[in-house]
Amino acid sequence: MVQPLFLKPVFQERIWGGKGLKEKFAYKIPHSKTGECWAISAHLNGPSTVENGPFSGKTLNEVWRNHPEIFGYYGGDTFPLLTKILDANQDLSVQVHPDDIYANLYENGELGKTECWYVIDCKEGAEMIYGHNAKTKEELIKMIKNKDWDKLLRRVRVKPGDFFYVPSGTIHALCEGTIVLETQQSSDTTYRVYDYDRRDENGKKRELHLKKAIDVTKVPHIDVDNKFIVTKYKDLIVTTFVENEFFVVHKWKIDGVASLTMDKPFMLCSVIKGNGTLRGEEGKYSFNKGSHFILPAKTRNFEISGNCEMIISHL
């Protein structure tokens, strides 16, 4: 089986969500506060569904569990990656994620959550919270207790095309007016540090997780030195954003025809701009902005033609 797996996303309502996923990607969102598109997901809290081929109608976790050959017999009980598109119509809560060891101990064997963001679009002057200014754990605890958020939290400006690597233990938050593609470990564990004293539709403040958040926050914060690698081919520009033990993430910019060879167990592909055609050994498949698919292990040689940009991730 060398057909790509095209996937139907799952949409998640969030207090900070909006209509951006409909406006930017023409998705049929279920709610006016849709915050997350779980585009390529085998997580039990929102598994995406295969839309084509012999596995049509099956969830990705079913295919992962029952057909390991499609994924190069990579192994493991859990599909390791999760691709999302987030619409931050309002500020997200200030939060932090655990690593694998902490999550395994305190979150029923869940994976940790290291992630990264590619900024698809944002309003002029948009910001994100990335890191903190505490020098010691004691200072971190004191500043949180005193709600000294302006002094504690570090804010950075963002623009379309920016990329941010967010390792576990990093305090962070997307801010209003930002749409990003997120590549992460397949985890749904988040510890809220601060939520602007917002209240939900029932008038209740959302739960904070201060003890766990303090436990896992890295002190002091150390910025990641982003050194991107750009490789130019005839009709293809590949930008490699990050390579580590959790994932490798690239952007492919194609204008014309790109002939490619896959030597990974599988690849996750998300189209963030334009449209085109994927040609493989078993036929051709059209895609457009907002399409998401997995290239299985036996894809080998394939060709992409069109004018498009895609975010690609693999192990």
The catalytic position among 14, 65, 155, 192 is 192
Structural contact between residues 267 and 302, judged by C-beta atoms closer than 8 angstroms: no
Let me know the angle formed at the C-alpha of 45 by 39 and 48, rounded to the nearest 5 degrees: 30
Active site residue 155: no
Non-local CB neighbours of 211 within 8 Å, separated by 6+ positions: none
Active site residues: 192
